[in-house]
Each structure stands twice: as C-alpha cells, then as structure tokens.
Structure 1
Amino acid sequence: MATREEVFAWRPPVPGVTEVFHARFTEHAYPMHVHDVWTLLIVDTGAVRYDLNRHACGTLHETVSLLPPHIPHNGSPATPEGFRKRVLYLDLSVLDAALIGSAADTPDLADLLLRRRVGQLHTVLANRGDELEAESRLAFIGERLRGHLRPMAATVRPPERERGVAEHLRDLLDARVVQGVTLNEAAELVHAHPAHLVRAFSAAFGLAPHQYLTARRVERARSLLLDGLPPAEAATAAGFYDQAHLGRHFKRIVGVSPGRFRRAR
C-alpha cells in the first residue's frame, strides 16, 4: 500500500521567509511551474528529479538546491520510495534578482555546512518566539548562498570597528529586552550588514545576539517569578511569546521549570 502523502506549510513571522513547506511524496509529480520567490530545498530521505532552465537536475540528501524566481521547473520522485523534503520560500530581500542567472546555471550546491544551517533554521522556525534566532541563521544562509553565486573578497575591518558594532547592538538589546528588535532593524540602526552584525557580536561577547536577548529575558522572568507572578504572566512581561516559550528556555538556563522555581522561592 502506498505511503500517505504528507504536507505541512506555514508562514513564520520572519522577514524574508514567505513560506515554510514540509512534504512527503511517493508518487506526486509537479508539472512545469514558476514561483516569484526563491525556493531553497533540502531532501531528508529519497531524492528529487527536476528540470530547470531546460537542464536535468536533482537533489540528494547531501545537497542544497536553490531554484530562482521566474524560471520554470518541475519535480518528481527519483526513487520508488519517494522523498521527504523541507523547503523555504525566500523573497528578494534575502537574495536579489541579479543572482537569478547564476542560480539557474548551478542550482544544486554540494555544501554540507550550508545544508546543516538550513536544517537548523527549519528547526528554529517551528518554535514561535525564536524569530531573532531565525533571522540570524537566515542571514548566514543568505551570505553563504551569495558566496556560491557571486564570490567576493572578504572585507577586513579594524578590530575597534568590530567592537563598536557589537557594543552598539548590546546597548540596543538592553534597551529592548521586552519588545525585542528584528535583525534587519538592528542592522539599519547600527549601520552594519545583518550577517556581519551577528558575527561581530558573537566574537565580542561569546554568544549570539538571540542568545544574549534570551538570557536577559530569563533573568527578568526570574525576578518576576520571585515577586510572585504566575509563569504565564511572567512570560509575557519578560518578552516571551507565551508560557511554553519561557519554559523551554528557562529550564535550559536555570535547570528547573518556571513553576518549580516560583514554588521554591
């Protein structure tokens, strides 16, 4: 008996990501079609065969496929067992239209680091409330994709410039512990590229911006719990999406759940 087809799709509140699409297909074949956004595809099991720009291509477990906007393509299982895939649809703010030609020529990328980063981003996107981490991971993915499509020499910046960028972002995060800030907004305020901003902050302080902000929010929640606030109220007052979001990070950092911490005060 054929395996039931599975599809999961959602639109996360992360700038640049228009849709997340997970699917398991055994028989379905896509006809020729186009998207007006970038298609970033990884395959977890099986393999996908497709035609792009009148060339035969394929995605295996070890590769990442980047299908450009406005270029017709199809898709079908390359094995009798079908395939399981995860897809990110990315708008032109992540990769601009000038890269479409390069992507059409070389859509399949054998880059294990890139593949791991894409998989990690999918995991983060499944957790509501971790949007800053998702933005940071997406910035590195975009940077690596651009490196494949348009290699550029690295720019060397003075160490004092790096430290100033990091401290500026830290001040911004300290001022917005509860309301937060998107990576793109922070990049505009600090006058640095998003990927460079995350890299400079991590080098200066030993943790990524989203980890720093989460730690500050956990500290705020601890204080509120000690004041007697219930975990659900402490979560939103500290900047977390909901109680489950607080609980996941609180236990990881503190070692116990928020409820247990509050009872032990």
Structure 2
Amino acid sequence: MNGWRGRAAITPGRFYYGGHIGAAAMHAHYAVQLLIGDGLILRGGDGTAHELTAALIPANTRHAIVRGTDAGLLALIDPAQAGDLAHPPGTGSAAAGAIDLSPPPRHDLPTLIALADEITGTVPAAHLHPGLAQAMRLIDETLPGQVRLSALADAVHLSESRLAHLFREQAGLPFRPYVLWMRLRLALYALADGGTLTDAAHTAGFSDSAHLSRTIRRMMGDAPSVLSAGVRWLRG
C-alpha cells in the first residue's frame, strides 16, 4: 500500500479507501478485498499477472499489486460480513475472484461504499433492533475501556445470548470482532491526528503498540504508518 494518497473511512468490519493506489508486494490479509481501478495489474500466488478493472479477492489469498492506479477504490471487508464471498468456490488466486463491472463505477468514496455494501449486504441503521443500537452507543461511550457483553446486555435489558445474536445478525459481526474494529477505528484516527503508535494504542485500549501494529497488519495488510501518511480520514 506504499505511495497511497487519498481519502479513507472505517466502519465496524469495513475499511474504505479512494485515491492513488500504489504497488504492493506479495501478501495476504484477513479481510476480503474489493479493488477497482483502470490499468490495475495483479499477480496471484501462482505467479501469473492479470490486468483487471475490478477484482474481489478472498480472505487469506496471496496477491501482489504489480501496477496501481491514480484513481482507484478499495474496500477491506471482515470475512464475517462477506458471507460466501469470503471464500468463493473455485478461486485459487487474486485473479480468479475478478468481477466485471461495465461500465466501471465513478471513482469516488461514496460510490465504493455503496458498491461494497450492495455486494456484501448490510442492515440499514434505521432497521437495527433498539437494544442493539443502544449497545453500540454504549460501546462508543465505554471505549477505550474494557467492554463486556454481560454488562451491555444488562444495560439494554436483553439476555447475553439475544444480544450476541443481534450483533451477528444485524451488525454483521460477532460481539468481540465488532469491538475490535471500533478500537481499530479509534487508533487510526489517533494516528491521523499525529499521534505516535504508542499514543494510538493507549487511545484505543490496545495493550501496547506492538499489539496494535500486529492487529493492523493482520486485518488490513500493511503497516500503521502507511494508513496515516498521505491519507485523509473521513469521520462519521
């Protein structure tokens, strides 16, 4: 993800980016990746390179960006939210998951967010169960402190099993991964504001900077510094 300059946004389970996409060495990451841009060249784990307009790359699939694009779109989606798209049948390389979008979508972040949400499906916020919506607000208020499902369930007058089911069904993520994405968002915002890795880790409630760095690399495929330099964060 070196050389990236653009705008980014993060929501529970999803990272969205629009702008200049640079080359990236062979790697694999936890998230499903939707990549769109004219003139992109991707190399799969088998060494074969393909020029693509759009690609849907399954989780944990080795790939490299041989040539980036000046105006591209990228979404990283937690496999728990991607359903069958996390591991499509018959895909063995980055190119195998390519999708055809004709004509290509406009190169802007709202388009990417809408496209990613259409492909993977989301539950509109207006349709969330009131108890789940309240639990989400309480998580925002509690972080960076420790968040317990039992305490949330008591606060919103639901059983733990019912609230856990609502997180999976409507938020698209189990409870613990949901909280982790919220911590990740706080950390990235802190880095964007000029904080050190240690500052960001403390701001978001990670045990230390190494824990935060490992989490970002695992979930997003690159170093924290890449996601703070040259990227303007849109906050919702």
Q: What TM-score, normalized to structure 2?
A: 0.42
Higher relative contact order (CA 8 A, sep 6+): 2
Normalised TM-score (structure 1):
0.38
